[in-house]
A and B are shown apart, each in its own frame.
Chain A
Amino acid sequence: EDKVVQSPLSLVVHEGDTVTLNCSYEVTNFRSLLWYKQEKKAPTFLFMLTSSGIEKKSGRLSSILDKKELFSILNITATQTGDSAVYLCAVGAFGNEKLTFGTGTRLTIIP
Chain B
Amino acid sequence: EPEVTQTPSHQVTQMGQEVILRCVPISNHLYFYWYRQILGQKVEFLVSFYNNEISEKSEIFDDQFSVERPDGSNFTLKIRSTKLEDSAMYFCASNEERRKTSAQETQYFGPGTRLLVL
Contacts from A to B (Cβ < 8 Å): 31-32, 34, 36, 41-45, 48, 50, 88, 90, 92, 96-104
Contact = CB atoms under 8 A, between A and B. Distances in A.
A48 B106 contact: yes
A83 to B, nearest CB: 19
Most chain A beta carbons < 10 A, residue from B48, B91, B104: B104
B65 interface: no
Contacts of B89: 41
Contacts of B107: 34, 45, 99
Interface residues of B, number: 25
Contacts of B50: 97
A98 B45 contact: yes
Interface stretch (B14-22, B69-77, B80-88, B109-117): B109-117
Contacts, number: 55
Contact of A43 (B43, B44, B103): B43
Nearest to A45: B106
Classify the interface of chain B: helix, strand, loop or mixed. strand
A98 B48 contact: yes
A36 B33 CA distance: 16
B43 A97 contact: no
A31 B31 CA distance: 17
B108 to A, nearest CB: 6
B56 interface: yes
Given A97-B33, A98-B48, A42 B42 contact: no
Given A32-B104, A42-B112, 18 more contacts: A32-B103, A41-B111, A42-B4, A42-B110, A44-B109, A48-B103, A48-B106, A50-B103, A90-B43, A92-B104, A98-B45, A98-B48, A98-B58, A99-B35, A101-B43, A101-B44, A103-B41, A103-B42
Given A48-B106, A97-B48, A97-B56, A102 B112 contact: no
Interface string B42-78: 1111001010000110100000000000000000000
A41 B104 CA distance: 23
